[in-house]
Amino acid sequence: MSALLDGDLSEASRTAGVSLTEYFVTDRARWLWQFRLDQMAADPAQARWMVRQAVVGDKGLVVGHAGFHGPPDEVGMVEIGYSVAPDFRRQGYARSALIELLRRAAAETAVTTVRATISPDNVASLATISGFDFVEVGEQWDEEDGRELVFEVPARRVPPA
């Protein structure tokens, strides 16, 4: 993440072991890398919950990134996040990332609930979570993203393949 924050795609790709694209050094992505690095500096144990690149196939095609916003809170809730690069959207990659995040959450005994927060205008992400039994439980204001709808699903529900 430090190399990405510095805009050094070559070093970031070497460290990650896959070829990363310009999508990982956009202003929005750099904001995320800084935010996550700050979280990990404050609590290094959070690192295993942080964002990872979304890789597809044997050739290591990187289509985006996905992960959790941090470890489970005091009641066992984790929030998920995923983003697919524009060239790879509408091909099922966000759905695949969501399935993997739900599977990982279900495997963690400390996790009881999975949360997704989505802008009401983000039709693609709203469609991605449909069919996974997420229930809208409220809304919130996010300083970075504005108004978001809050959805939750029990963590132990095994997602469809």
% of the chain beyond a pLDDT of 70: 97
- Quickly state the pLDDT bin for 76 (edges 50, 70, 90): very high
Confidence check: pLDDT of 105 > 70: yes
pTM confidence score: 0.85
pLDDT for position 17: 85
**CA–CA gap between residue 50 and residue 128 (Å, rounded):** 21
Confidence check: pLDDT of 144 > 80: no
When pLDDT is averaged across residues 32-47 and rounded to a whole number, the result is: 86
Q: What DSSP character marks residue 69?
A: S
pLDDT for position 160: 55
Q: Which residues of 20-48 are buried (b: 16+ CB within 10 A; e: fewer)?
A: bbebbbeeebbebbeebbebbeeeeebee
pLDDT for position 54: 79
When pLDDT is averaged across residues 88-109 and rounded to a whole number, the result is: 91
pLDDT for position 140: 87
Give the residue among 60, 120, 109, 62 at the shortest CA–CA distance from 87: 62
pLDDT for position 158: 58
- Quickly state the pLDDT bin for 157 (edges 50, 70, 90): low
- Quickly state the pLDDT bin for 161 (edges 50, 70, 90): low
**CA–CA gap between residue 147 and residue 121 (Å, rounded):** 9
Q: Quick: pLDDT tens for 19-37.
A: 888 888 888 888 888 888 8
